[in-house]
Amino acid sequence: MSDVSPFQSRIYLRKPKTKLTAEQRAGGLLWQPAPSLVKETRVLPSGLHVRFLRVSKPCLAGRSLLFFSDTHIRAAGIRGFFPAVRQGGGSEWLTKAFRELFEAIPMPDCVTFGGDLAGDAAWIGKSLDFLRTIPSGPDKFAVCGNWELRRRWLPAERWRGLFASAGFHLLVNETAESHGILFRGLDDAKEGAGLSREASIPRSENVCVLSHNPDSAAAMLSADKLKGAPLILCGHTHGGQFRIPGFGALMTSSRFGKRLEYGAYRHSSTGATMYVSAGIGATWFHARIFCPPEVLFVNFC
């Protein structure tokens, strides 16, 4: 059941960045990098990296899910350096990469998408065609990213139907159950309607929160609304796209700066696990350095 109207009126102008409250700044400090949670990385022939995350949650033992984000499909290709990966423009490279992916991994129980599907309005149709190539069987869920909502490409109300046509259930401040997992999808923090004051996360040991922007989840946790969520999956930051070994991202789109730039994190107070994905595509700079495209495969044990 939705806590707010799934698509309430939105203002599609760039919103000024709000300053972090003292509580939110303090809450951000509680997230500690936890790289040991990523048990394995597999590199596919296409250059797509598969990160394997293990989450200890006995009530969900044996369940699995796939998470990918920020495809930004458009005509322009992407150059990857260290490692060298050439992603051709359009959806052909991505379709091939996902074909390899589903041949290389066990079929997950659920497939989840973290938003920012197309990088250009002309590619929305082809981007949806790509989603349709994902094998049937797993239940599929998505959340909106800021690119779906900021550019007036389509009325916000249409995105639910478009994702549904590709087999994905769009969650906008809503919860849906699949294979014992309660998926809670948050609206985008920057361009969406946000969450009402009454919105909350079910207090359950089997909740997986999908949030395009890690800032949303971090702010909610500091406001005591995510304490029942053992797993939070995010995108948006692209891992910075340009990374330096030993230092990390040169720039980040998170209000928490490098605190939540990329990778696996554990909350020191609640024990929640958050993974901030580097995603697949690129935004203004069509290149990645020490930041390969990736998807996440989560195993519960």
- Please report whether residue 160 resides in a domain: yes
The pair phi, psi for residue 251, each rounded to 5°, is -150, 155
What was the pLDDT predicted at 251? 86
From CA 134, how far away is CA 48, in angstroms rounded? 16
- Please report whether residue 76 resides in a domain: yes
- Please report whether residue 15 resides in a domain: no
- Bridge-based pairing of strands 78-81 and 287-289 is parallel
pLDDT over 70 percentage in the chain: 82
Range from 153-162, 189-198, 242-251 that averages highest in pLDDT: 242-251
- Please report whether residue 5 resides in a domain: no
C-alpha pair distances (Å), 218 with each of 53, 137, 199 = 20, 32, 15
**Number of CB atoms found within 10 A of residue 103's CB:** 8
- Bridge-based pairing of strands 139-142 and 287-289 is unpaired
The encoded tokens of residue 187 equal 């609206």
C-alpha pair distances (Å), 60 with each of 24, 65, 125, 143, 297 = 30, 11, 36, 22, 15
- Please report whether residue 12 resides in a domain: no
pLDDT band at 234 (very low <50, low <70, confident <90, very high): very high
Range from 188-192, 253-257, 297-301 that averages highest in pLDDT: 297-301
Helix 124-132 / helix 156-165 crossing angle, nearest 10 deg: 40
Residue 134 sits in a domain of what CATH number? 3.60.21
- Please report whether residue 17 resides in a domain: no
**Number of CB atoms found within 10 A of residue 74's CB:** 22
From CA 263, how far away is CA 201, in angstroms rounded? 23
C-alpha pair distances (Å), 70 with each of 20, 213, 269, 293, 295 = 25, 11, 29, 10, 10
> Of the given ranges (4-13, 88-97, 287-296), which has the lowest mean pLDDT?
4-13
What was the pLDDT predicted at 14? 40
> Of the given ranges (19-23, 53-57, 237-241), which has the lowest mean pLDDT?
19-23
Overall domain count for the chain: 1
Domain that holds residue 133: 22-300
SS3 273: strand
Q: How much is the mean pLDDT over the chain?
A: 85
**155, amino acid identity:** P
Instruction: Give the residue among 102, 98, 94, 60 at the shortest CA–CA distance from 78.
Output: 94
- Residue 295: is its pLDDT beyond 70? yes
From CA 205, how far away is CA 181, in angstroms rounded? 9
Do 72 and 119 form a contact (C-beta atoms < 8 A)? yes
What was the pLDDT predicted at 112? 98
SS3 52: strand
- Please report whether residue 213 resides in a domain: yes
- Please report whether residue 161 resides in a domain: yes
E strand residue ranges, 16-128: 31-33, 38-43, 49-55, 64-68, 78-81, 85-87, 110-113
> If you average pLDDT over residues 247-252, what whole number do you get?
90
pLDDT over 90 percentage in the chain: 58
